[in-house]
Amino acid sequence: MAPMTNYDMPLNDIVKKIKALDNKTKLEILMLLIKEGSKSITDISKELRINFSTAHKYLEQLENADIVKSKQVVKDRVKRVFFVKDFSIDLSPRSINDFNQSKPKQETGFNIITESGKLEFFDTKKFSKTYVEKGIPSDIIEDGLEYIDKRAYDGITILELKELFSDFIANRITILKDAVRTISEGLIQEKTYSKILLLYHNNYLESHMNGDLFITNLSKPKLLNFMHDLRGISIHGINGSTAKNISEYLNQVEQVINSTSKISYSTQAFDSFNYFVAPIASKNTTQDIKKALNTFIKNLEKTNTTFYIGLDLGIPKFFNEITPIYEEEYIKEKGTVKKYEDYQIDSIALTKLFLDILNKEKPQNITPVFKVWDKKFDSSILPSKNYFIANMLPDWQTKNASYVGNLNRFDYLWKRWMRTVRVGEVQNIVLNLPRLTAKAKNEKNFFELLDKKLDYILDCHFDIAEFAIGSFMRKNETNFESIQNRKWSYAQIDDSTYSISILGLNECIKILTDNKMQEDIGFAEKILKFCNNKIKTFSDAAIRIVLKEEQNPLIARRFYTIDSDKKINVKSYTSGILCDDMAASASLHKYLNGGHCIYSKKLNLKELFKTNFGLAYIGQNSSIS
């Protein structure tokens, strides 16, 4: 056997360490320990999302290679924690050449007096070792060494150095505690949903964090979507007088948008825009209307708000309950005052002008929503793509429903027509159906769990409503001077919706049917009916609760990411309710009074209207026949 040379030992040590770091996961373990200090096997497996057995095996290999070290600690229970040892692997040509050199490399720095009274060069690695083994993160140790270096002198004692380092740690702790205290004090003053839930209903926040559900708005109480009251503005005005022409009127609408921005987020809509604007537009020349609309669209585009403009095709059913002027005036002059239906020609002309400008300007934040009230509507008026079309003809449709794009549907059944406009969505809670389904062993268990979960979500909505309405949402209501010499309340906060969104219905059905059926519309209807019946038990309550589909892919991805670790056997979670059969998908609209939309890049309107659909979106590269 050849004799071992004096550089065989460091070479063997390097080989051992390299073998121990032979995959990415081991390096990730090492990075985690370096950044965050000591960790248990359970901590590492959770944070890196690897199996416990894998984490244990890799840590054993790293410890055998003298890269990490472990120790037993007692905190609530005895557990084994791992921390990084101070090591280096240098394979540069210079370092390899130095393996056979016995002379130690001279370093710059300072000398210290050891505890035994000897003078020796300050070794940062040796000094750091104790703190590394205590689990202090490497970046804090490095900052501490920098702190020491600025205050040390040649001949300083090791005890002084340790005291300096302790001072640095204590100072860092004080700064962090002060920062946490400042943040906590600030949170106490904040009036947000998350703060109220944290103080009084922390279980809801826990459900939000663990993926049982998703509470859409945890910030300040603002309406997620807002529907404007164009008729109210035309009748009352906003400053004690009504507009004399369309230019003044649309300017008032812009002022209302600005005023209501403090109570709503950046998604707003106008219902029956063409009819509500038609009476005042009829008094203007075509040129003036065109100019006013052009300015209005350009001004909307300058905002950070997404707008959905409702345009009626045919005469809305609910117009027989309202008039273009204040009710008392209408009663006095009943024989001479026109009704909205008398402005149908003006509304069609206004729609064409509006669409011409949209086609020319191509604004990015304005999308039309066409509401069809008559089977004989003129389809030639529709754009080729990028619009919503709402079918108001089916029996299940109420006298009116206003749409904020695909996000929300405000139904007529809540306090009649006015409560389909001048309202918004206070809160939306998304239900993780696949997780709920995976917990159930059979259909009976599923509906029992669903019943309990809906109770839980409804309770959450009522707790949020108590805070939103009773605490300070009322203070944010927008009031304007009316022409009737009184204030009129513009934002109907008390009438706004609280939504329960269904996410992963397709996956839910596949789990319950053991993947034997790709789509089971009958089962989907059963689930949606069950949810609706549960919500109806709260129908006499002071808040409006609706059921809708959830179409946010980010929430779907989040649920899937969390649940994939829980070994739920689903390849992905679908946002929305996706069916290959359009007619089948459309049949679900009547169960989703909060909103449901069919999407298509290529849509045949004749075929579409044979279905029972409520809302559809024609997107990019559409063709209409």
Give 142-155 pLDDT, tens digit per residue. 888 988 888 888 88
pLDDT of residue 95: 65
Task: Please check whether residue 139 lies inside any domain of the structure.
Answer: yes
The one-letter code for the residue type at 386 is N
Q: Residue 508 is encoded by which pair of tokens? A: 């839910």
Mean pLDDT confidence for 9-34: 81
Q: Tell me the β-bridge partners of 549.
A: 502
Q: Classify residue 463 by burial, with Cβ atoms within 10 Å: 0-12, 13-18, 19+.
A: middle
pLDDT of residue 602: 65
Query: What is the spatial distance between Cα 452 and Cα 455, in angstroms, rounded to a whole number?
Result: 5
| Contact status, residue 233 vs residue 218, Cβ threshold 8 Å | no
Query: What is the spatial distance between Cα 532 and Cα 89, in angstroms, rounded to a whole number?
Result: 64
Q: Which band of pLDDT confidence, cut at 50, 70 and 90, is reported for residue 471?
A: low
Mean pLDDT confidence for 173-198: 77
Bigger pLDDT: 273 vs 52: 273
Please give the sequence-ordered ranges of beta strands (E in DSSP) within 418-576, or none if there are none. 423-432, 479-481, 487-489, 497-503, 544-549
pLDDT of residue 72: 79
pLDDT of residue 292: 96
The one-letter code for the residue type at 541 is A
Average pLDDT value over all residues in the chain: 84
Mean pLDDT confidence for 146-171: 89
pLDDT of residue 10: 64
Identify the domain containing residue 118 by its residue range.
109-186
Q: Which of 11-20, 461-470, 503-512 shows the lowest mean pLDDT across its residues? A: 11-20
In a shared domain, residues 206 and 286 = no
pLDDT of residue 65: 87
Mean pLDDT confidence for 363-374: 95
Mean pLDDT confidence for 179-208: 80
Place of tokens 């389904």: 437
Query: What is the spatial distance between Cα 458 and Cα 500, in angstroms, rounded to a whole number?
Result: 8
pLDDT of residue 594: 93
Dihedral pair phi/psi, residue 568, rounded to 5°: -80, 125
Of 84, 117, 145, the residue that ends a domain is 84
**Is residue 157 predicted with pLDDT exceeding 80?**
yes
**Is residue 6 predicted with pLDDT exceeding 50?**
no
In a shared domain, residues 228 and 254 = yes
Query: What is the spatial distance between Cα 303 and Cα 255, in angstroms, rounded to a whole number?
Result: 12
Dihedral pair phi/psi, residue 102, rounded to 5°: -85, -20
pLDDT of residue 354: 96
In a shared domain, residues 259 and 358 = yes
**Is residue 280 predicted with pLDDT exceeding 80?**
yes
| Contact status, residue 421 vs residue 229, Cβ threshold 8 Å | yes
In a shared domain, residues 129 and 277 = no
Of 162, 186, 210, the residue that ends a domain is 186
Residue (of 6, 44, 382, 450) closest to 212 by Cα position: 450
Mean pLDDT confidence for 244-262: 93
pLDDT of residue 133: 77
Q: Which band of pLDDT confidence, cut at 50, 70 and 90, is reported for residue 545?
A: very high
Bigger pLDDT: 275 vs 152: 275
Tell whether the torsion through CA atoms of 549, 553, 554 and 559 is positive or negative.
Answer: positive
Residue (of 311, 217, 200) closest to 263 by Cα position: 217
Q: Tell me the β-bridge partners of 401.
A: 411
pLDDT of residue 366: 95
In a shared domain, residues 472 and 400 = no
Mean pLDDT confidence for 470-486: 72
Local structure of residue 321 (DSSP, 8 states)? G
pTM of the model: 0.75
pLDDT of residue 269: 96
Q: Which of 4-8, 51-55, 145-149, 230-234 shows the lowest mean pLDDT across its residues? A: 4-8
Task: Please check whether residue 299 lies inside any domain of the structure.
Answer: yes
Neighbours of 93 (CB within 10 A): 7
**Is residue 475 predicted with pLDDT exceeding 70?**
no
Task: Please check whether residue 584 lies inside any domain of the structure.
Answer: no
Task: Please check whether residue 585 lies inside any domain of the structure.
Answer: no
In a shared domain, residues 31 and 180 = no
In a shared domain, residues 539 and 436 = yes
Q: What percentage of the chain has pLDDT greater than the value 90?
A: 36
Q: β-strands 306-313, 366-372: how paired?
A: parallel
**Is residue 131 predicted with pLDDT exceeding 50?**
yes
**Is residue 383 predicted with pLDDT exceeding 80?**
yes
Q: Which of 122-131, 181-190, 402-411 shows the lowest mean pLDDT across its residues? A: 181-190
**Is residue 515 predicted with pLDDT exceeding 70?**
no
Mean pLDDT confidence for 344-356: 95
Mean pLDDT confidence for 529-558: 87
pLDDT of residue 104: 47
In a shared domain, residues 120 and 56 = no
In a shared domain, residues 73 and 126 = no
Q: Which band of pLDDT confidence, cut at 50, 70 and 90, is reported for residue 519?
A: low
Q: Which band of pLDDT confidence, cut at 50, 70 and 90, is reported for residue 548?
A: very high
Mean pLDDT confidence for 423-431: 94
Q: β-strands 544-549, 497-503: how paired?
A: parallel
**Is residue 140 predicted with pLDDT exceeding 50?**
yes
Task: Please check whether residue 580 lies inside any domain of the structure.
Answer: no
Mean pLDDT confidence for 82-93: 75
**Is residue 528 predicted with pLDDT exceeding 90?**
yes
In a shared domain, residues 211 and 226 = no
In a shared domain, residues 156 and 200 = no
Q: Which band of pLDDT confidence, cut at 50, 70 and 90, is reported for residue 199?
A: confident
**How confident is the model over 287-326, as pLDDT tens digits?**
999 999 999 999 999 998 999 999 999 999 999 888 887 6
Task: Please check whether residue 579 lies inside any domain of the structure.
Answer: no
Place of tokens 């205290």: 181
Task: Please check whether residue 536 lies inside any domain of the structure.
Answer: yes
Of 186, 202, 231, the residue that ends a domain is 186
Number of domains, the chain: 4
**How confident is the model over 571-614, as pLDDT tens digits?**
778 887 766 677 778 888 889 999 999 887 766 788 888 888 99
Task: Please check whether residue 1 lies inside any domain of the structure.
Answer: no
| Contact status, residue 523 vs residue 509, Cβ threshold 8 Å | yes
pLDDT of residue 498: 94
Neighbours of 76 (CB within 10 A): 5
Query: What is the spatial distance between Cα 513 and Cα 4, in angstroms, rounded to a whole number?
Result: 68
In a shared domain, residues 386 and 249 = yes
Q: How many residues does the chain have?
A: 625
